[in-house]
Amino acid sequence: MDDLSDWRERVAPRGSALHYALLDLPDAQRAPVLALHALAHELLTVADRCQEPAVGERKLDWWRGELAAAQAGRASHPLTRALQPALGGGLLDGDALQTLVDGAAMDLRGEAWPDFAALQLYLHDTGGVPAQQQARLCGARHRHTLAAAQRIGLGLRLAQLLQDLPHHLRHGRLPLPLDELARAGVPPETLIPGRTLPAATALFDAQLRRAADLLRAGLARLPDDEHLPQRALVVQAELTLAQLAEIRRDGCQLLARRVTLTPLRQWWITGRTLRRLRRRSATIAAP
């Protein structure tokens, strides 16, 4: 398997939720899960790196061909080579990964979202699908597990978009439902990175609560015997829930500053979550 250290620094650096989520995974799962996240990162940053949409489309077309080649056992990129055994063995769904490319293309087009139903389709392609594929890599045994993972993925992606709102605004993207902006009396042009906007506080709070609700709904739907096998997703969800709560306590200042959890707190949450999952698993296994 290719050395993924460069991508580890990009997508799972120390202090990130993914870093802590990967710590307890077996080596056989850690590398492909990391490669999956790195692939999502590469695809979802194409729009940031390409000023010309046509150039970005060509890059995404190349990735579409590379994913098809990986399904056929002919991958050439380090990330697709890392994922190729899982694709060949049926752990990963190649068509689902192509859906992730479609989601990245929406960023290139700078699509606006008239309502949350439209935004949720984007969240599915760029968050729900990767989470489902991560669950498969971690041995998902039930269709309910994939449904729960999809819900968790929606929440993780929405939380990520909200935390990165200034970045997306600078690149001409608005990951918020336009109808909810209108009802809140917040014109899109007033959303300026670095600015404190009291009129948007209630709107931002509602979006943060929505992300948290999606995460909790996904965790609640996860089958009892899948909590420990899917511990990476559970840890990501728990860390993100803690961060969302911290952002709300800070006043929902998504435009003005980025709120992060300290490494010590993330370590504590991770340890507490893993201990809880192991106790739960032991209780289920007990005669």
Instruction: Report the distance separating Cα 196 and Cα 188, nearest Å.
Output: 14
Q: Which residues contact 92 (CB under 8 A, 6 or more apart)?
A: 32, 36, 83, 86, 133, 136, 137
Instruction: Report the distance separating Cα 151 and Cα 128, nearest Å.
Output: 6
pLDDT at 9: 87
pLDDT at 181: 97
pLDDT at 287: 66
Rounded (5°) CA angle 66-68-69: 60
Amino acid at 220: A
Rounded (5°) CA angle 110-112-117: 130
Number of domains in the chain: 1
Residues 204-238: tens digit of each pLDDT: 999 999 999 999 999 999 999 999 999 999 999 99
Q: How crowded is residue 95: how many other Cβ atoms within 10 Å of its Cβ? A: 10
Report residue 279: phi and psi, to 5°.
-65, -40
Alpha helices in 110-260 (DSSP H): 116-123, 129-137, 143-163, 165-170, 178-184, 201-221, 231-249
- 191 near 169, Cβ under 8 Å? yes
Average pLDDT score over residue span 163-185: 96
Residues 94-148: tens digit of each pLDDT: 999 999 999 999 999 888 899 999 999 999 999 999 999 999 999 998 899 999 9
pLDDT at 2: 57
- 213 near 241, Cβ under 8 Å? no
Residue with the larger pLDDT of the pair 52 and 267: 267
Q: Give the SS3 label for residue 1.
A: coil
CATH at 276 = 1.10.600.10
- 39 near 79, Cβ under 8 Å? yes
Instruction: Report the distance separating Cα 152 and Cα 172, nearest Å.
Output: 27
pLDDT at 1: 47
Q: 42-54 burial string, b = 16+ CB within 10 Å, else e?
A: bbbebbeebeeee
**Longest C-alpha distance within the chain, in Å?**
62
Residues 82-96: tens digit of each pLDDT: 999 999 888 999 999
- What range defines the domain where residue 130 resides? 5-285
Going by C-alpha positions, the residue among 135, 146, 62 that lies closest to residue 104 is: 62
Average pLDDT score over residue span 149-174: 97
Average pLDDT over the chain, rounded to an integer: 94
Going by C-alpha positions, the residue among 207, 211, 239 that lies closest to residue 152 is: 211
Does 57 have pLDDT greater than 70? yes
Residues 17-39: tens digit of each pLDDT: 999 999 999 999 999 999 999 99
**pTM: predicted TM-score of the whole model, two decimal places:** 0.95
